[in-house]
Structure 1
Amino acid sequence: MSTLVSKVLVGSAMAVVSLFASIDINNASADELMTLNGIGKGKAEAIVAYRKNHCFKNANDLSSVKGIGSKIVEKNRKEITVGECKK
């Protein structure tokens, strides 16, 4: 197999893995949070700011952040994980 083909296959595999990666809403960076559907820079920063005073116990708690409703939570439920809160 040529080097170019190998690079394309590895790159494609990595892209597929990143599409199905879970995002820990208690610990993800703003950039990682922005990979969720409907979460842009402003909402990602709001999640990080909210986390400074609150721990998420489940995915539904994400809707406690201003600007994030239950529809966004539902769109992302399969990608959201809730890890240990490091407060």
Structure 2
Amino acid sequence: MLKSLLSASVLALLASVSVGAFAAPAKSVESVKVAAAQHAAPINLNSADAETLTRELKGIGATKAKAIVVYRDAHGPFSSVDELLEVKGIGAATLEKNRAKLSVN
């Protein structure tokens, strides 16, 4: 009786360890998107259209994306990513959220 109780306990312990090893937490969809964005080609502020800006940048909706394109058309190409702060509605927080994804060449 003692031997079967000990065997059952050991078996239960081994089963729980095995299940725990295979039940590793899955990556969230958001973490996969962030990883993909970090490896994607930068978005060129001087050539991207409003749809691309809206789709690829955090905190940039259709209105702000159009404002970026209108600013670029009126003032010529962006000379630096920091010049994005000159666009009405784009603040420092939005720029910092997207800085790693942006380029001007």
CA distance in 1, matches of 2:45, 2:86: 12
Whole-Å separation in 2 of the counterparts to 1:21 and 1:57? 19
- Distance apart, 1:70 and its partner CA: 1.1
Length-normalised TM-score, structure 1 = 0.71
Instruction: Name the residue aligned to 1:23.
Output: 43
Q: TM-score, normalised by structure 2?
A: 0.60
Q: Distance in 2 between matches of 1:69 and 1:37?
A: 12
Please, which runs of 5 or more residues in structure 2 have no aligned partner? 1-32
Separation of aligned partners in 1, 2:61 and 2:41: 18
Bigger Rg over Cα: 2
The separation in 1 between residues aligned to 2:83 and 2:36, in whole angstroms, is: 24
Residue matched to 2:63:
42
> Equivalent of 1:52, from 56, 73, 85?
73
**Greater helix fraction, Structure 1 or Structure 2:** 2
Partners of 2:61 and 2:95 in 1: CA distance: 14
Tell me which amino acid in the other structure corresponds to 1:62: L
Aligned length: 69
1:62 alignment partner, one of 72, 84, 88: 84
Change (3 A) 1:53 1:31: same
CA distance in 1 between partners of 2:86 and 2:100 (Å): 19
- CA RMSD after TM alignment: 1.8
| Percent of paired sites with the same residue | 45
* Greater relative CO (CA pairs within 8 A, separation 6+): 1
Measured in 2, the distance between the counterparts of 1:18 and 1:49 equals 29
